Amino acid sequence: MKENNNVCSFVGTQSNSQVSSGTFFDILQGIREQIEIECFNADDRRQAEEIAMIIAEIFKLPSNAEIQISGNKLSVAMVREIYSLLQNEHVAQVIDNYKKLDYIVNYKKTYIRTALYNEVFEHESRFINCFNTNFPNFFQEKRRALS
């Protein structure tokens, strides 16, 4: 996505193979493009940059290394595959969730790694859950109206 009058429009993301080759700074630039770093507002941009560096670090680690995610050791190769699906909205949600924490995170990088990984799997479910919580009778009323 590219920013255009504060509106970002989709231009695609880099593939896993494109992002995982090159120097750390080459990879970091690819991650910045993948998560559309220019679309973050000034308040969130610094944290988005930190997150981009955390993601880039994963792409520089050896594929056969293991990393802890949600208390489980996973191969870096698998984590890369999941991280290659990250988009701007995933990172924005991780930033928003981090802002809402009411406790001190002692291992921020570990927390962010896990939050990013889980966000890929849980992003859409959060919206469904939020909608159902805010409008509990919506589908029941719609079914009655159709009957």
Contact criterion met (CB below 8 Å) for 87 and 13 = yes
- Name the percent of the chain lying above pLDDT 90: 67
Report the mean per-residue pLDDT for the chain: 84
Contact criterion met (CB below 8 Å) for 14 and 27 = no
| pTM of the shown model | 0.76
Task: Please state, in angstroms and rounded to a whole number, the distance separating the CA atoms of residues 77 and 96.
Answer: 27
Question: What digits encode the pLDDT tens for the residues 43-61?
Answer: 999 999 999 999 999 999 9
For 69, the token pair is: 């995610």
Residue 22 has pLDDT above 50, yes or no: yes
Question: What digits encode the pLDDT tens for the residues 63-92?
Answer: 999 999 999 999 999 999 999 999 999 999
Q: Which residues of 18-47 are buried (b: 16+ CB within 10 A; e: fewer)?
A: ebbeeeeeebbbbbbbbbbbebbeeebeeb
For 42, the token pair is: 């000034």
